Structure 1
Amino acid sequence: MLPVLLFFAAHWYLSLFAQTFFLHRYASHGMFTMSRGWERIFYVLTFVFQGSSFLSPRAYGIMHRLHHAYADTERDPHSPRYSKNLFEMMWRTKTIYNDILNDRAGLDPKFEKGVPNWPFMEWLGDRWPVRLAWGILYTLFYIQFATTWWLFLLLPIHYLMGPVHGAIINWYAHKVGYTNFKVDDTAKNLLPFDFLMMGESYHNNHHAFGGRANFGFKWHEFDPAYPIILLFNALGIIRLRRNRDRAYM
């Protein structure tokens, strides 16, 4: 049982790190810069960490910018206000994501400015045979190490890890939680201590200060991704951009 639970935790947090660090804070908001070489390294790490649920950094970055620009309006790619339930919202998100991915969304060019784009890795990560191969690897691991039937109930989360993370924030962090700041939408802080989402649950804070690399504000709001960002900055892997707290792109 222990190997399976450790594998699940590793996949959960590594996938989440790729999403919050590379797709969200870098591709969407440009909170820091990095060299082309490091950008490609993080592209590969995102492919490995997200696996079967690989999300295009380019498409994610553009879609998230739309979310900030049109939060809780009809043009928002994922607003609970315009969906009857979680699954309807995620289906809408998937449709808009695929339109962006395949260049049929007809967007204002400003939303595409500066987003990373490595066509080969974007192509590879989106191939269904590749996604299926990742899913088979997860399943074989469970067959080898799962000691009870209920552990196999975790497998669908592995298959859809990226969208699961998105659903938690884009639905529940607009439905429940508390607010520190008055914003023009329903974004809330989902958890007072974010042990689950690596700082992403401080959604109200982030909507109020869209360019701020540290999502926490109050003493109890620890953003686990921020010390990693500071470490990478100190090592010269990235260059943190200052004085961008209120910028969203």
Structure 2
Amino acid sequence: MSVFLLALVIFAIGYLINIFYITVLYHRGLSHGSVVMGPKLTKFLQYTGIWVTGIDPKAWACMHRMHHMHSDTELDPHSPKIFGVFGVAMEQLHSYENVLRQLIKKNPKFTRLVSDIPFGVSTLNYKRLWMLPYVLHLVLAVAIGFATGSVILGFAYYAGIMSHPVQGWMVNALAHRYGYRNFSTKDESTNNWLVSFLVFGEGYQNNHHARPKRTNFAIRSSEFDFGYGLCLISQKLGLLRLPNSSV
């Protein structure tokens, strides 16, 4: 196998792991309850989420719920209508940092939004050690580079496993600006087929905002949600359960 193909495989593995955590566990599980996670999986997510993605699970869920409450208004943490398509890239990071600070301070305006989540902000964030997951993955990337003699393979791993900021920008910016609409929602969410393909169904933002509790973000027969496929596989493996109304 050529170095280029191997780099694609390594990137895809890291990307898929990140996608599984974000779209299945953080989004459909913690944020909306459209997949049902048992106590063991919830505990597993509590301790591994930040180490795998670099993102605190509770803070992510809190910011996402704020997004649904205030979608495409001035209170939306990351709306292209307010911050511009490219401005969302940095604003989503600033908003995440602010949400995290408010949760650590136990600001009731924020904590009440995620009071149903049975764990707190990660200890790493309380101790201001948020950079450790990034360092860990950087070390792993360097190790892969040394072991294989290819810097490209190490970079491919890091780019895949730490891909959420790019994924988030595509969903939050492009799928709230470019695409078609199946539903007349109060926000400017759209369905963007390219973003949906790249981010496993997350680009069907108009469908999702119209029916946020629905596990399958695809509505039309021409739409396909790869993230829902991951949910079905996870259910087959006994990792989680899909409610009867998931389709």
Q: TM-score, normalised by structure 2?
A: 0.82
Give the whole-Å Cα distance in 1 for the aligned partners of 2:69 and 2:135: 34
Identify the residue that residue 81 of structure 2 maps to in structure 1: 81
SS of the equivalent of 1:174 reads coil
Per-residue deviation, residues 195-249 of structure 1 (Å, max 9, x unmatched): 321111111111111110001111121112223323444555323334589xxxx
Aligned pairs for 1:1-249 within 5 A: 1=3, 2-44=5-47, 46-47=49-50, 49-50=52-53, 54-86=54-86, 88-102=87-101, 103=103, 104=105, 107=109, 109-117=111-119, 119-120=121-122, 123=125, 127-145=130-148, 157-158=159-160, 160-191=162-193, 194-233=196-235, 236-243=238-245
Asked if structure 2 preserves the Cα contact closer than 8 Å seen for 1:189 and 1:203, the reply is yes
Per-residue deviation, residues 65-108 of structure 1 (Å, max 9, x unmatched): 0101100000000000111452x323322222122222256525
Give the whole-Å Cα distance in 2 for the aligned partners of 1:230 and 1:176: 29
Segments of structure 1 that go 5 or more residues without pairing to the other structure are none
By how many angstroms is 1:159 displaced?
Answer: 7.2
By how many angstroms is 1:130 displaced?
Answer: 3.5
Asked if structure 2 preserves the Cα contact closer than 8 Å seen for 1:56 and 1:125, the reply is no
- Number of residue pairs aligned between Structure 1 and Structure 2: 240
Stretch deviating more after TM superposition (203-212 or 122-131): 122-131
Per-residue deviation, residues 148-204 of structure 1 (Å, max 9, x unmatched): 87x787577347412111011001111211111111111111117943211111111
Give the whole-Å Cα distance in 1 for the aligned partners of 2:34 and 2:202: 15
Per-residue deviation, residues 24-63 of structure 1 (Å, max 9, x unmatched): 011111113222212122345534542xxx2111001110
CA-based RMSD: 3.0
Give the whole-Å Cα distance in 2 for the aligned partners of 1:4 and 1:96: 33
Give the whole-Å Cα distance in 1 for the aligned partners of 2:197 and 2:88: 25
* 1:136 counterpart letter in structure 2: V
Asked if structure 1 preserves the Cα contact closer than 8 Å seen for 2:196 and 2:225, the reply is yes
* 2:44 counterpart letter in structure 1: I
Q: CA 1:7/1:35 → structure 2, altered by over 3 Å: closer, same or farther?
A: same
